[in-house]
Amino acid sequence: MTQSITITTPDDWHLHFRDDAMLQETVPATARCFRRAIAMPNLVPPVVNTQMAMAYKERIMAARGEFTDFEPLVTLYLTNDTTADDIRSARAAGIVASKLYPAGATTNSDAAVKGIQSLYPVFEAMQKEGMLLLIHGEVTDNHIDIFDREKEFIDRHLNNIVSDFPELKVVFEHITTADAADFVLASSDNVAATITPQHLMLNRNDLLVGGVRPHNYCLPVLKRNTHQQALRKVVQSGSSKFFLGTDSAPHEKHKKESACGCAGCYSAWSAIELYAQVFEELDALDKFEGFASFHGPDFYGLPRNTGHITLKREPWRIPEVIALPTGDSIVPFMAGSQVNWRLAK
């Protein structure tokens, strides 16, 4: 039985740090094991231009603490007011990606895109400038079942986007269905996807059976077991089209355990360890480094990291609760559960 795993230092290609005092918790929790992270721009107000993005980057960097080598990769939040000039300005400043949220799809997305075709001039500029398009791929029509919204987005929008902009690099974020996995596999090398720990470890039974479990509620919502198994199969395969993106998304405990039912799983405290556990369960530890450390930077056109981390077989339990500097607290993903791997100091 393998007792330790050493891999090239990984990156997190999709997460939410939030802002202000929350950064004192979320940034070090991520930087403990990841060298870089793509920071989502759905703040209040959203990060819609280069000036706001670079200011946000400075706030993240100020919260790194001892992890001074950690590099946040900030993104632009696309709206119906985004212009090609905004894209060119952002790319010149080193911003590597912009994020498409359909309006109302997730936390703080009310200002997002209504009418995706209206953004085609922006997609054209992104294709020309070499900026990646990151997509939260769900429709938000009230009459579409929440469990079908990812597939509907593929059929209604994503097929057209990748067909109309064949040179645009697209990351289908936090995929949750066999339909999404099949779409990525069938698409060109310019289409890839991130997969979260919760969608590899859980299915909708873990959200609904025995009572609603608010700390397992995320968007896109957990799907049925057959979709979970499809995701596990593609990471087990070692396909370079899939890579690590935690979608770690903190909400205070009282906001998760309320009528609001805020969506998001805060996994930063244990994400790399939980991913290792999944790959071990799949007898695919030989594929772990590719998923965690190589496929993401290769797709983004960025250099692979040169450092390494080591995980040791040392069972431990994820905390039941994490105190925040504000006096509030967060219940982390898989709180109280035993994890078989621990990051070596």
- Cα separation, 236 vs 189, in Å, equals 19
Does 143 carry a binding-site annotation? no
- Cα separation, 181 vs 172, in Å, equals 9
Does 312 carry a binding-site annotation? no
Does 288 carry a binding-site annotation? no
Does 17 carry a binding-site annotation? yes
Task: Specify the DSSP class assigned to residue 94.
Answer: T
* Residue whose pair of structure tokens reads 């049925």 in the numeric block: 224
Does 313 carry a binding-site annotation? no
Three-state secondary structure readout of the chain:
CCCEEEEECCCEEEECCCCHHHHHHHHHHHHCCCCEEEECCCCCCCCCCHHHHHHHHHHHHHCCCCCCCCEEEEEEECCCCCCHHHHHHHHHCCCCEEEECECCCCCCCCCCECCHHHHHHHHHHHHHHCCEEEECCCCCCCCCCHHHHHHHHHHHHHHHHHHHCCCCCEEECCCCCHHHHHHHHHCCCCEEEEECHHHHHCCCHHHHCCCCCHHHCCCCCCCCHHHHHHHHHHHHHCCCCEEECCCECCCCHHHHCCCCCCCCECCCCCHHHHHHHHHHHCCCHHHHHHHHHHHHHHHHCCCCCCCEEEEEEEEEECCCCEECCCCCEECCCCCCCEEEEEECC
How many CB atoms are closer than 10 A to CB 341?
24
- Cα separation, 14 vs 308, in Å, equals 20
Active site residue 182: no
Does 14 carry a binding-site annotation? yes
- Cα separation, 78 vs 90, in Å, equals 12
Does 251 carry a binding-site annotation? yes
Does 39 carry a binding-site annotation? no
Does 247 carry a binding-site annotation? yes
Of residues 69, 247, 283, 328, which has the active-site annotation?
Answer: 247
Residues in binding site for Zn(2+): 14, 16, 99, 136, 174, 247
Catalytic residues: 247
Residues in binding site for substrate: 16-18, 42, 136, 219, 251, 263
Residues in binding site: 14, 16-18, 42, 99, 136, 174, 219, 247, 251, 263
